[in-house]
Amino acid sequence: MVKIPKSTGASAPERITGPIPLLAYLGGFCEALVMGLAYVTKGDPVFPYIVLAGIALPFVLILIIYRLISAHYAKLYRPQDFRNENDFLEIVKLSTQSIRRFSSIFRPFGGDEKIDFRQRSGIREQVTRIETVLGETSSSDFLALHSWFNSEQRHDLALVCIDVAIAKGENSPRNFSFRSASLRKLNRLPEALSSTEMALTLKPSDSDALYNLARIHMQTGDIEKANQILDRLRQSGEKLYVERLFSKLSQLNSAKT
């Protein structure tokens, strides 16, 4: 069962993080406005209509909220709204199985196989569901999913998420470096090198991209180039990356001896 986090006692503006809280505040404002109008127009011919509007307004809001929850749930939440990011994945139905289905649904169109109407209907339904996830999930949420899958060692899914985030406009040097890291961890080194070069083209001093470039050289056996990048990071004062890279190089050298 998906557990939605409880309120943290934030102020009213801070609590408006989605459509439902906004509707609740607007509904309360409109209800107060209607009650004020009813008080001012008491005895006027329009008074019964204003009272009727005040009675109907809560039911209209309930119907709108019900419609949002039942048909547009993917729009309502972000990964950071949940204590457990798996609950977000359950909400948007972005599971490993759905991604595998996504990679297979177009196979009938690649060959000479004929598909009947029922197959077309099923494919259309799957495409619509995936299109909803891709279209309604923001680029920042895909970046969060990339981080989650990376921490879970699911680098194939991390790569999918960073690719979608970049396609949605998150084309910063750091994100191309993240893409390079996912490809490197999948041992797709030529592609990883290409993404690292893109990151360094956008920002030649990007420390994360330099670190990934050194790791790629280590995996290809070019320790000399990796050491050159280590010296470059030392000169730039990037202590964290220097320590991490120095540790990896030390482990590699000790393994050889």
78 Rama class: left (phi>0) / alpha (psi -120 to 50) / beta: beta
Q: Are 155 and 186 in contact (CB under 8 A)?
A: yes
C-alpha distances (whole Å) from 78 to each of 5, 24, 88, 103 are 12, 19, 7, 25
Longest dimension (CA), the chain: 97
Q: Domain residues of the chain, as ranges?
A: 18-71, 78-171, 172-257
DSSP state at residue 4: P
Secondary structure of 192-203 in HEC code, one letter for each residue: HHHHHHHHHHHC
What pLDDT is attached to residue 158? 92
169 Rama class: left (phi>0) / alpha (psi -120 to 50) / beta: left
Helix (H) or strand (E) holding 8: none
Q: Are 76 and 68 in contact (CB under 8 A)?
A: yes
DSSP state at residue 6: P
In this structure, what are the phi and psi dihedrals at residue 220, rounded to the nearest 5 degrees?
A: -90, 0
**Burial of 78 per CB tally in 10 Å (0-12, 13-18, 19+):** middle
Closest C-alpha to 62, from 24, 26, 33 = 24
What pLDDT is attached to residue 89? 61
What pLDDT is attached to residue 165? 92
* Exposure on the CB side of residue 134, measured as CA atoms within 13 A: 17
Residues composing the chain: 257
Q: What's the chain's Rg over C-alpha atoms?
A: 26
What pLDDT is attached to residue 72? 61
Q: In a 3-state reduction of DSSP, which class is residue 39?
A: helix
Q: Are 20 and 76 in contact (CB under 8 A)?
A: yes
Q: In a 3-state reduction of DSSP, which class is residue 185?
A: helix
pTM here?
0.52
Domain 172-257: CATH architecture, name and number where available: Alpha Horseshoe (1.25)
Tens place of pLDDT for every residue, the chain, 257 residues? Answer: 444 444 445 554 555 556 667 777 777 888 788 888 877 888 788 888 888 888 888 888 788 777 776 666 555 666 666 666 666 666 555 444 555 555 554 454 444 455 555 566 667 777 788 888 888 888 888 999 999 999 999 999 999 999 999 999 888 999 999 999 999 999 999 999 999 999 999 999 888 899 899 899 988 888 888 888 888 888 877 788 788 888 887 877 666 65
Cα angle 238-242-247, degrees, rounded to a multiple of 5 = 160
